[in-house]
Structure 1
Amino acid sequence: MLDKSTISLLGLAMRARKIATGDVLVKSIRQKKVDFVIIAEDASDNTKKKYIDKCTYYHIDYCVMGQSEELSQAIGKNNRVALGILDKGFANKIKSK
């Protein structure tokens, strides 16, 4: 369950164009443009493994939290199971929550 402050931070980061999802997220992880990755708890095991392995290999912090519906709603997009934060400030603020 995401708290309100995390949800509002994700919304703010999305409006600032500092969030990557989907194929862009995988590409951004490879290019080390991502500072933090959030993976939904209800993502499939295969999807979780893919993002966790990528983050581990490229030394990027990640966490598994919230439901995909919550993450999707927070950024105003449908069916998102992983979000990459592209800004250190937003990443640090969300990590501290």
Structure 2
Amino acid sequence: MNQQAYNLLGLMMRSRRIDIGATKILEGIKRGKYHLVILAEDASELTQEQFRKQAAKTNVKVIVFGTKQTIAESIGKDVTVAIGIIDKGFADKMRSILEKKIMIEGDSCHGEN
């Protein structure tokens, strides 16, 4: 199930339908740019709190999934803490994959907001 999500991240990157990097994503959340945000499980507590607060203000769903390294590898970049998904179709598909993963595996992946 993880591989399906990582493959989709790679496809979104090649399609240029995502933004990467915590600062850029936080700014984009404020502007309502994203349909879904993926935040690495190993993001610092401060970063997680910043995302939770901003997402709550703007009603953007944040899903905690993967590590900085595994997310980065899936999109061909260096360590990445956050991804903002611009395309609604891609966001819906990713949400579906990750929510199915939670139900099937009872994994630590969880949604915020």
Question: What TM-score bracket applies, with the shorter chain setting the length?
Answer: over 0.9
User: Which 4+ stretches in 1 moved above 6 angstroms?
Assistant: none
How far apart, in 1, do the equivalents of 2:65 and 2:7 lie?
A: 15
- The equivalent of 1:6 in structure 2 is 5
CA distance in 1 between partners of 2:11 and 2:27 (Å): 22
Distance (Å, rounded) in 2 between the aligned partners of 1:78 and 1:43: 14
Q: Structure 1: any 5+ residue segments left out of the alignment?
A: none
Alignment of 1:1-97 (within 5 A): 3-22=2-21, 23-97=23-97
2-side partners of 1:6 and 1:59: how far apart?
23
Q: Which runs of 5+ in 2 are unaligned?
A: 98-113
- Which has the greater radius of gyration? 2
Corresponding residue SS for 1:79: coil
What is the TM-score of this pair, normalised by structure 1?
A: 0.92
The Cα of 1:29 is off from its aligned counterpart by: 0.9
The percent identity for this pair of structures is 36
- Superposition deviation, residue 79 in structure 1: 1.6
Q: In structure 1, give the amino acid aligned to 2:10.
A: G
How many angstroms apart in 2 are the aligned matches of 1:75 and 1:91? 16
Q: CA deviation at 1:67?
A: 0.9
Once superposed, what is the RMSD of the aligned Cα atoms? 1.1
Deviation of 1:24 after TM superposition, in Å, equals: 2.2
Once residues 76 and 92 of structure 2 are traced to their aligned partners in structure 1, the CA distance between those partners, rounded to angstroms, is: 22
Report how many aligned residue pairs link the two structures: 96
Which residue identity lines up with residue 73 of structure 2 in the other structure? Answer: Q
